[in-house]
């Protein structure tokens, strides 16, 4: 599986719509995907979301997909043995879309 890391990293960076699926793949890889921890932490900590188009499309319709990505990114971080930024408080607050 480690041989797929470069392809998954490319898919993450180049195609925003692939991010939830890539996060699942990294979670399934577990510690072998440790090189993705930095990217996953950046995603979970980002205030401006990956699918924010800067007002060119209706962002509010993308909340469900964004929440799915965040959940999968947190799962991947846990599978890699890493903590998500703010992990202690994530369950007590929700992210506004």
Work out the average pLDDT over 53-58: 57
pLDDT of residue 16: 83
pLDDT of residue 67: 85
- Cβ atoms of 59 and 73 within 8 Å: the answer is no
Q: With 70 as the cut, is the pLDDT of residue 25 above it?
A: yes
* Placement of tokens 């980002």 in the chain: 46
pLDDT of residue 10: 96
Closest by CA to 26, choosing from 74, 60, 63, 89, is 74
- 21 alpha-carbon distance from chain centroid: 9
Q: With 90 as the cut, is the pLDDT of residue 23 above it?
A: yes
For the chain, which residues make up each domain, given as ranges?
Answer: 2-92
d(CA 60, CA 84): 24
């Amino acid at each position: 599986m480690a041989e797929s890391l470069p392809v998954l990293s490319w898919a993450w960076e180049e195609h925003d719509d692939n991010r939830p699926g890539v996060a699942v793949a990294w979670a399934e890889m577990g510690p072998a995907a440790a090189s993705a921890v930095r990217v996953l932490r950046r995603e979970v900590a980002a205030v401006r979301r990956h699918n924010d188009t800067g007002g060119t499309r209706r962002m509010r319709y993308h909340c469900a997909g964004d929440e799915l990505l965040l959940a999968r990114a947190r799962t991947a971080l846990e599978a890699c043995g890493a903590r998500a930024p703010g992990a202690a408080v994530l369950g007590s607050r929700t992210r506004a879309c």
